[in-house]
Amino acid sequence: MLDGTEAVKRASQFELPADTPRERVGHHWIDLARGQLYHGDRRQALVALQKARRIAPSQTRYHPMVHETIRVLVHHEHRRSDTLSGFARWIGLKL
């Protein structure tokens, strides 16, 4: 619904069960990254994507929402951090 503030608020009150499949946990962090981006917190969006990468690397690398989120982060970053540039290269985004 493009309401990043509401997504971030709800995520802060939500805990995934320990037996949740890795792909679902990875998708949760991918979704939260998008919510963080809409909320205006680009730094936390990248943190969420890094968590998704640790949990479900293949899913994160090829997920279209990850690619779009990273494109937006790169576009808005005036001075790209090594972390953001490295993540963009990891998913195959041409800078």
DSSP state of 18: T
- pLDDT tens for each residue of 54-65: 999 999 999 999
pTM of the model: 0.80
Query: What is residue 48's predicted lDDT score, i.e. its pLDDT?
Result: 96
Mean pLDDT of 56-77: 93
d(CA 31, CA 17): 17
Backbone angles phi, psi at 75, to 5 degrees: -60, -40
In the structure encoding, which two tokens stand for residue 37, read together? 């981006």
| Percentage with pLDDT > 90 across the chain | 59
CA-wise closest residue to 72 among 18, 20, 35: 35
Task: Assess whether pLDDT exceeds 80 at residue 51.
Answer: yes
